Chain A
Amino acid sequence: MVQSAVADDVFYALSNSTRRKVLEQLAVGPATVSELAAPFDMKLPSFVQHLSVLEQSRLVKSKKEGRVRTYEIVPDRFRVAEDWLSARRQLWEARLDRFDQYVKQLKEKE
């Protein structure tokens, strides 16, 4: 998959508060579907759709033992979002630095 499609999947997965809360919970440690669903007032089929979206983005992975599916976070995948954001930040910081420099030059000319 091309990089921009990967970023689409990751940012889409992050775009929903239910899914972000699931990621916050998984940051603490692996959890089962019913543990993850417990804080939400949501029917299970709707809730597991969110887990599907997270799994598809590969921000999480799961394994099934017997009838119990357990989710855990995939930290590496968060770099897709992080890298994109930090590239934007570097660009803006460089731009601000140059602006700073320019204002200093103007000041010196006065």
Chain B
Amino acid sequence: MNTMSEQFTINPKLDFAIERFIDAPTRLVWDALTKPEHIKEWYMPRAWGRVSRTELDARPGGIFRIDIALPNGQEVPNLGCVLEVVPMERLVWTAMLFPGYRPAVFDDIPITAIMTMEQEGSGTRYVFTALHRNEADLQANKASGFYQGTEIAIDQFVEHVMAMK
């Protein structure tokens, strides 16, 4: 079997990775990551807004759609395509493609998100990685709060998984 390191390389100038140890079975971590009813509980930093709609068809080519509702009433859609699904190991989606692998049209900053998990003792090692096209994209995502928001969301994710136990 291929290991992930053969499939992608993190370049610290372009990418960021956030790693957590979660003291919960990998099965729960996977459910929290992939089931819409769980995603809506942790995906958006609570102080910033909430998830108003989630669709995740967890198979290659499937839709990834998470809509955010902001406190001022605005809704912001997020749309992408699932690339790879290995239950309880990894989920990969990208905003470079529309669902069904259709080449996307966009003017914002696309990422490819890679989420991996591995059993460690009675818990789970979880890593979220965001790949960017170039240094400017990464800097823009850091400046806009995307990076900070992702960190908060991952803390909420860990909290949510612990509450599922």
* Cross-chain contact B107 with A33 (CB below 8 angstroms): yes
Interface size on A, residues (CB 8 A): 18
Task: Determine if B74 and A55 form an interchain contact, defined as CB atoms under 8 angstroms apart.
Answer: no
Q: Does chain B have a CB within 8 A of A45?
A: yes
How far does the alpha carbon of A66 sit from the alpha carbon of B6 in the complex, in Å? 37
Q: How far is the CB of B5 from chain A (nearest CB, A)?
A: 31
Tell me the interface secondary structure of chain B in the complex: loop
Measured CB to CB, the closest approach of chain B to A89, in angstroms, equals 27
Chain B 40-70 interface residues, beta-carbon cutoff 8 Å to A:
none
CB within 8 Å for A49 and B100 given contacts A16-B75, A56-B79: no
B85 to chain A, nearest CB (A): 19
Which residues on B sit within 8 Å (CB–CB) of A55? 105
**Residue interface bits A54-81, CB-to-B below 8 A is 1, else 0:** 0110000010000001000000000000
Q: Which of A48, A53, A56 contacts B107 (CB 8 A)?
A: A48
Near B by CB (< 8 A), chain A positions 23-61 give 33, 42, 44-46, 48-53, 55-56
**Interface set of B (CB-CB < 8 Å, partner A):** 74-79, 98-100, 102, 104-109, 144
